[in-house]
Structure 1
């Protein structure tokens, strides 16, 4: 689907910048379960150096030098933008805590709880990078992450699925699922200074879009009598981040981690979609 004639994707709820630990803790204390949109913004690193065995290891090495600046959380009624690089509070981190000198000013306790909670589904994209950056900055593991790019792909294999499991990007998900287009021109901006209105809109929209794509895919799957996550193995699109590395949330097939494979996909055979049968 071409994005040329699609409407721009815009905010549909308040975007609230939380400037202190107290404000964050009050805003997030009610999030005890369910699904949230989740994203981070950071200062991008320079190309990594050193010996690495694989392309993935090279990317991890490079992104280990990124600086966490902002965390965004979307709920149905609001989007919370948390500038952890500049936040005011008492829970400070130092190089003694993480081995780094460029860590967050503070990482509020309620934010830590939500990030670590297995009861709170965090819908977004790019989680291997987000989880790595959060862990490196404050030593916190991110749990129960759903990649909406993978979820979208697996829930509509007739249109998307091919021989690999490369996630769709958020821009593509918004285009195909929400029938809107996103403006990604702010993506390369600096995030460690004061946030402008443009920064706030860009950051908030990513979290809002992640939540809305998740909800729309689940509604679409339900209407097609396909239950998510029961129908599609959750370890195909859900992750935990442990010690900064993504791991599948469930073990499948003789205890081994399972990535998507056509041989295990009953609705995709001989290179074509053959229908759901759950």
Structure 2
């Protein structure tokens, strides 16, 4: 990469250096780049920092990439955006203006001096980055307040020493040999969220507090109120879930469990491929939802191991201002996909008769273990997961890996990645809906049920581990009757 131009913008002026024309490097330029007290903001600076060192031997201190901050300020919007956020996208989304991208890709390496249009674009480039940064720091929303805190605590300020990026706070070198910035971003977000994971005193203190009792009547009431608010008649909708072996997961299954101020803004429905058409027909004709979009894609799962996901299609449905996300999954048990989700906080679902929480010891304490190794993650995966995880971090969820949560027995404790779990082990919590305990399911429903065997992904206690999900052969499943529910849930000792 050739070094052609460098531009620096202040509040009132933009200075452009044309390296094809200058014979000596301005010392003020060198001082500004190396001065820690002067914050430099821009986009995609990893490569620029390397080029400035290789061409001129420069050290750059106190740099912030506004692309990372934009992802942090709006995690939901950019959670599935693959690749770096371009300046053009950020100018449009944050500042509400359009930037002429054609000038960005013009020939800057010509032997002649840059033309007026190129100079104008270079100036706008520097000015736009500064304006985006200023806009993100406005104390308007809770997320932007969080951005201020991250900058103040130096989590997202970097130095470039010997062409190598280092965190400002620790001085630790960070690998740059990646296609785009999402990998580096995911590392730093995880460091910020988890804090000093090797000193987990706060988490240990939370784990020592008694678990809050779970009242099935209260859980059912919250589920029914949620469904009613989405124009879904509770009993009729839950019957439909049972008829088609479908499940509701995501925040709609978490909200009934927690004393939480964040109300779900959509409902995620997971349906096996062999019954999905029937469930979709029910949503459209019985409950009068309209399909607004369909995509053959993956849902918001860990996305690191696509072979395990089994997501066939995703439909977005609306009725008035209500949104349903309808996810068609492979196999006979829709729960298999749920255990590929980004972290344990969303490994919950409700069916027609009960709500299942896979990790009650953590979830009820608002603690979550990631289902992926965020320090050694694929680039594509980082884009899909970090926005989702950060969203729950902003909602008060504490994230730690199992080995940093509590002392445990490897291979048997639910929080350990070496432990093999099933849907019907003693570690999960099953909360029956009291008004539906007597609901009788057809034999066809039971014929189609297969259990799920799974383990957490992420750093193993002794070695890296990947998530593991598979569907077992057909096994005997406890009937949805009062005796079975009482026997199962009493082992967790959590229900009132």
Tell me which interval the TM-score lies in, with the shorter structure as reference length: 0.5 to 0.7
Structure 1's 190 and 163: CA in aligned 2 closer, same or farther, altered over 3 A? closer
| 1:77-96 map, 5 Å | 77-87=12-22
Q: Could you tell me which runs of 5 or more consecutive residues in structure 2 were left unpaired when the two chains were aligned.
A: 175-186, 196-261, 263-342, 347-387, 397-496
- Tell me the equivalent position of 2:47: 129
- What residue in structure 1 maps to residue 95 of structure 2? 178
Measured after TM superposition, the shift of residue 238 of structure 1 is 2.4
Aligned length: 191
Structure 1: distance between partners of 2:26 and 2:71: 34
- Residue of structure 2 aligned with 1:142, choices 60, 68, 73: 60
Contact 1:239 1:246 in 2 (8 A): yes
| 2:4 counterpart residue number | 69
3-state secondary structure, aligned to 2:101 = coil
Per the alignment, residue 217 of structure 1 pairs with 136
Task: Map 1:221-260; keep pairs closer than 5 Å.
Answer: 222-225=139-142, 226-231=145-150, 237-251=156-170, 258-260=187-189
Larger deviation: 224-233 or 147-156? 224-233
**Alpha carbons 1:123, 1:146 under 8 Å: kept:** yes
From the two aligned structures, give the one with the greater helix fraction.
Answer: 2
| 2:28 aligned counterpart, secondary structure | helix
1:154 aligns with 2:89: no
Q: Indicate if the aligned counterparts of 1:85 and 1:106 stay in contact, CA closer than 8 A.
A: no
1:182 positional shift: 1.0
- 1:154–1:232 Cα contact (<8 Å) kept: no
Partner SS state of residue 77, structure 1: coil
Q: Give CA deviations for 1:197-219 in whole Å, capped at 9, x if unaligned.
A: 11111111110110000001111
Give the structure 1 partner of residue 486 of structure 2: none
- What secondary structure does 1:128 align onto? helix
CA shift at 1:160, angstroms?
Answer: 2.2
Given the alignment, which residue of 103, 115, 119 partners 1:196?
115
Which TM-score applies when normalising by structure 1? 0.60
Unpaired runs of 5+ in structure 1? 1-65, 88-104
Q: TM-score, normalised by structure 2?
A: 0.35
Per the alignment, do residues 237 and 163 of structure 1 end up closer, same or farther by CA in structure 2, a change over 3 Å counting?
Answer: farther
Q: After superposition, what is the alpha-carbon deviation per residue over 1:164-194, rounded to whole angstroms, capped at 9, x for unaligned?
A: 9x54221111111011121111223233421
Q: 1:191, 1:77 → 2: CA distance?
A: 25
Q: For residues 262 and 248 of structure 1, what CA distance do their matches in structure 2 show?
A: 11
Write the distance in 2 (CA, Å) between the matches of 1:136 and 1:263. 31
* RMSD value, Cα: 3.2
User: How far apart are the structure 2 equivalents of 1:263 and 1:196?
Assistant: 43
Q: State the partner residue of 1:261.
A: 190
Secondary structure of 2:4's partner? strand
Aligned residue number for residue 17 of structure 1 = none
Q: Which moved more, 1:131-140 or 1:190-199?
A: 190-199
Counterpart Cα distance in 2 of 1:149 and 1:114 = 22
Task: Please give the per-residue CA displacement for 1:113-171, whole angstroms capped at 9, x wherever unaligned.
Answer: 0011111111101111110111111111111110000011112223223599x542211
Q: Which residue of 1 aligns with 2:209?
A: none
Offset from partner CA, 1:12-31 (integer Å, 9 cap, x none): xxxxxxxxxxxxxxxxxxxx
The 3 A distance-change label for structure 1 pair 244 and 231 is closer
Q: Per the alignment, in what secondary structure is the counterpart of residue 39 of structure 2?
A: strand
